[in-house]
Amino acid sequence: MWAQMSNRDELYTQAEEKLNSFLAQQYRRKTPERYEVLRIICSIDDIFTLEQLADRMRAEGKFQVSRSTLFNIIDLFVEARLLIKHNLPGAAHYECCVQDRPYLYLVCTQCGSIHAIRHPQMEKVIATVKSRKITICQRVLYLNGTCKRCEMANRKERNKRQNSNHISEQV
């Protein structure tokens, strides 16, 4: 989706450096499974769920990791600020966030769909926000509303109810 980097290899290299630094600071092991999950995450262009990541891991077939191991690795990556965890209706969603930039999303409160948006002026404003009360480590903005598909479904439902009410009044 965003892939601002010249290519995915460059993104992975940056992510790998960030992970190496984090693991060294935390005195944690550098396991091949962690790096394989990181490689796959860096190849995903969109927001994903744990289930989608597990499917992708199975499809690529290099490492078979259990769901609990995958969940633990994901938690580690969130802690290392390699991933953003989006708490959305239905399931948690994740996104690679190696690049230090604001993230903007439109979220449908009805169906839970999420759409990343690119708005340079908003990104500049969000990037300049500072606070004395909190150290900002990730800049994520959610704009909640109703998507066009849900809006049309709601309109159809309202029209159907109005028509049925109108028919019952005539009887």
38 closest CA partner among 80, 67, 85 = 80
44 closest CA partner among 84, 87, 104 = 84
Confidence band of 154 (pLDDT split at 50, 70, 90): confident
pTM of structure: 0.72
Confidence band of 17 (pLDDT split at 50, 70, 90): very high
Query: Which position has the higher pLDDT, 114 or 62?
Result: 114
Pair of tokens at residue 111: 């169906």
CATH classification of 102-171, choosing from 3.55.40.10, 3.40.50.2300, 3.30.1490.190, 1.10.600.10? 3.30.1490.190
92-146 per-position pLDDT tens digit: 889 888 876 767 888 888 887 888 887 778 777 777 777 778 777 777 778 888 9
1-99 maps to CATH 1.10.10.10: yes
Domain boundaries, the chain: 1-99, 102-171
